[in-house]
Structure formats: structure tokens, C-alpha cells
Amino acid sequence: MVLPTGASYRRRAMATVTAVSAERTHSMSKPNRDSIRLLAGLGVEGDAHLGQTVRHLSRIARDPTAPNLRQGHLIHAELHDALRERGFDVSAGQLGENLTTRGVDPLALPVGTLLHLGATAVVEVTGLRNPCRQLEGIQAGLMAAVLNRDSAGRLVRLAGIMAVVRADGDVRPGDPIAVELPVGRHCRLEPV
């Protein structure tokens, strides 16, 4: 996979936050908010996945002391558009994301990419979201719709990316997103 260079990537159309979502309980969908507050090293204030160590129930069962590499979940609005074209009724926050974006392809970013959100918030991309069967509770066939195969037959996960919060800040719909690619060798995203 060839990843874009910093300069060429930044020349793309303006990237923005289109929705922000948070939920205190462990439920699949997250209601949209007017704004969310990101807390460095913890995640989204008021969200069930806030914390330095894992908060996803299946991961707690495996190792409750593991670092939380899933403090924030980002999905590109273009995925929602594509799913709607295929007949799925989906909207921002419904697939469990905290941040819905437009104008940046999060699946093409390498591990360690910094996303500057709004005035001060910064998240660091840690990996891919591994979609779960809870998606079937939203609509039958949705799990299969966010999985694909590439030309070599490898599984491609389309359900967004995970990140950790590096700098505090409030994030709102309409906020700009600036992409800062890591220096050196770029590593392809894997599920975290």
C-alpha cells in the first residue's frame, strides 16, 4: 500500500469534523452532541471508553491492564454515504464513532498520524476498528457491508480508525482537521 506524502496529502480538499458523539454507557450507537471534550491520555470526556487502560468489555476480559489504544473512534462521512447508497439507514454516531469526518480518508493514514482537531485537540491514530457483530443489531447485513477483500484476498476493514488523545481540546461539528503524517517509515494500520 502506497501512502500519500505529507505535502501531497495536505493539498487535498479541506477536511472537517461533521459530527461529534459520546455515550456514558457501553452501547453501540452514540448520540450526537454540540461538542465533545478530548482529554489527553484518556479520551472523550463522558464516554464509556474514557481511560488510560482498555475500556472495551471484550478487551477488559482479556487484560484489564492493557493500554487503551481505542480512546476515540473516527469514521469518515463518506462511509455513511456509501452505505446509504447500498440501502443502509446509517447516520453519524450510529456505528459507535466519537468523531465523524469528511475530506480525509482515515483508512489510508499510517499508524502515528496526528490529527489536529479544531483549535487545540490532537489525536494520534493507533489502528483500525475491528467491526463487531453488534452492527447486525442496527441493520441486517451491516457487518458484511463494512468488510471487504482486496485483490490479494486480504480482509479490508472499513469501519473507521481508533486513536488516543495527545492534546486536550473541545471539538465541534465544522471544526477543521489538519493531518500531520509521522516522520520516517509509515506503518500500515492494523486492528487494535
Residue 69 contacts residue 162 (beta carbons within 8 Å): yes
* Residue 72 domain boundaries: 6-180
Per-residue pLDDT of 13-62, as tens digits, reads 489 999 999 999 999 999 999 999 999 999 999 999 999 999 988 888 89
**Structural domain tally of the chain?**
1
- Which DSSP string do the residues of 99-158 spell out, in sequence order? EEEES--GGGPPTT-EEEETTTEEEEEEEE----GGGGGTSTTHHHHTEEE-TT--EEE-
Q: Is residue 188, in this structure, part of any structural domain at all?
A: no
Q: Is residue 51, in this structure, part of any structural domain at all?
A: yes
Q: Is residue 191, in this structure, part of any structural domain at all?
A: no
Q: Is residue 192, in this structure, part of any structural domain at all?
A: no
Per-residue pLDDT of 61-94, as tens digits, reads 899 999 999 999 999 999 999 999 999 999 999 9
CATH number assigned to the domain comprising residue 157: 2.40.33.20
Please state, in angstroms and as integers, the Cα–Cα distance from residue 92 to each residue in 51, 179, 188, following that order: 23, 21, 26
The x, y and z cell numbers of residue 19, run together, are 459530527
